[in-house]
């Protein structure tokens, strides 16, 4: 049987991004954390961490991380019947896209977290790539646009988010006075959340454009909106996030009657226990 103190060290190194920070979190020295990782590698007979070029789990380490995530969730259920096992504050690590975090997520999970006495460690990741974090064992669950579950995981559809290509009226007049066409798209600066953000590409492909276009990178939902309102570019913004700005006339769609519907899927490990089932029920209720 693997010593769970060793697994805890591995999980904390990955979650905090380093041996020194993991030691601070666990109240141990950096050398003690390193020793636990070495002991774990000796016991299973292979490396669990790649230290260069960036710190990440090996395939064996990923399997162990997935295991320890599920054990933590099952311990939550056990604590329901054996309160003495309960920790002061349990934490669940989840990857989700910034737009959900900026709009509907908080209201969907607030009562659940309060009732379960649960803390969340939320990792912001593009909706197209969040599942990678789960496959790597970094998180126990993720919210993303990928409908294909990882091996050993469940995938539950939650609903859609509607995105509009929005900009200020003055920006629209400057770049799209002759309509939404190939020439205007090539000249008009867009706003993209990050290098993995494919919403702009998917929208343009949907309306028949597959070429290059200029863009700003802005990894912040709040900053994304502010850039659009400042007239710096057009961006794919959730309709629920921009509703007031649209109604006030501060933002307009640059492609009339065109929108992008993004399906959202909730992924979590099978056999994760009742806490994950109850969280899934809360998320489904928010989109019913």
For residue 72, pLDDT over 80 is answered with no
pLDDT of 274: 85
CATH topology for 92-288 is: D-Maltodextrin-Binding Protein; domain 2 (3.40.190)
Q: What percent of the chain has pLDDT over 90?
A: 49
Identify whether the C-beta of residue 1 lies closer than 8 Å to the C-beta of residue 44.
no
What's the CA gap between 121 and 91, in Å, rounded? 7
Domain ranges in the chain are 1-88, 92-288
Which residue has better confidence, 90 or 166? 166
State pLDDT tens for residues 225-242.
Answer: 999 999 999 999 999 999
CATH architecture of the domain with range 1-88: Orthogonal Bundle (1.10)
Beta bridge partners of 163: 238, 260
What is the chain's mean pLDDT, rounded?
88
Query: Do 265 and 154 contact (CB within 8 A), yes or no?
Result: no
pLDDT tens, residue by residue, 121-177: 898 988 777 888 888 877 889 999 999 988 889 999 999 999 999 999 999 999 999
pLDDT tens, position by position, 211-224: 999 999 999 989 99
Fold agreement between 1-88 and 92-288: no
Confidence band, pLDDT 50/70/90 cuts, at residue 62 = confident
Tell me phi and psi for residue 160, to 5 degrees.
Answer: -125, 155
Report the share of the chain in percent with pLDDT over 70. 94
User: Which residue do the tokens 């995938």 mark?
Assistant: 155
Q: What does the pLDDT read at residue 64?
A: 86
| Cα end-to-end span (Å), the chain | 43
Q: Please, are residues 224 and 216 in contact by the beta-carbon 8 Å criterion?
A: no
Asked whether the predicted pLDDT for residue 264 surpasses 90, the reply is: yes
The pLDDT of residue 80: 65
Choose among 78, 61, 80, 84: nearest CA to 14.
Answer: 61
Cβ pair 224, 261 in contact under 8 A: no
76 pLDDT higher than 80: no
């Amino acid at each position: 049987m693997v010593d769970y103190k060793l697994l805890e060290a591995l999980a904390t190194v990955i979650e905090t991004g380093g041996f020194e920070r993991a030691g601070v979190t666990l109240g141990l020295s950096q050398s003690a954390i390193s020793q636990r990782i070495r002991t774990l590698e000796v016991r299973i007979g292979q490396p669990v961490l790649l230290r260069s070029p960036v710190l990440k789990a090996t395939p064996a380490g990923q399997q162990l991380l997935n295991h320890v995530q599920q054990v933590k969730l099952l311990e939550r259920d056990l604590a329901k019947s054996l309160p003495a096992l309960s920790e002061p504050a349990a934490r669940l690590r989840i990857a989700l896209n910034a737009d959900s975090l900026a709009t509907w997520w908080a209201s969907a999970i607030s009562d659940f977290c309060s009732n379960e006495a649960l803390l969340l460690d939320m990792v912001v990741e593009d909706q197209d790539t969040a599942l990678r974090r789960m496959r790597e064992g970094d998180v126990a669950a993720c919210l993303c646009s990928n409908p294909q579950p990882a091996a050993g995981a469940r995938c539950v559809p939650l609903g859609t988010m509607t995105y509009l290509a929005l900009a200020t009226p003055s920006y629209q007049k400057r770049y799209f006075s002759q309509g939404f066409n190939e020439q205007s798209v090539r000249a008009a600066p867009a706003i993209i959340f990050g290098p993995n953000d494919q919403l702009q590409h998917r929208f343009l492909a949907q309306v028949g454009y597959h070429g290059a276009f200029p863009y700003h990178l802005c990894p912040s939902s709040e900053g994304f909106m502010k850039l659009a309102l400042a007239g710096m570019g057009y961006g794919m913004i959730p309709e629920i996030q921009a509703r007031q700005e649209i109604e006030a006339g501060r933002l307009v769609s640059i492609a009339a009657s065109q929108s992008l519907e993004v399906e959202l899927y909730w992924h979590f490990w099978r056999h994760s226990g009742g806490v994950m089932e109850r969280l899934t029920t809360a998320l489904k209720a928010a989109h019913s």
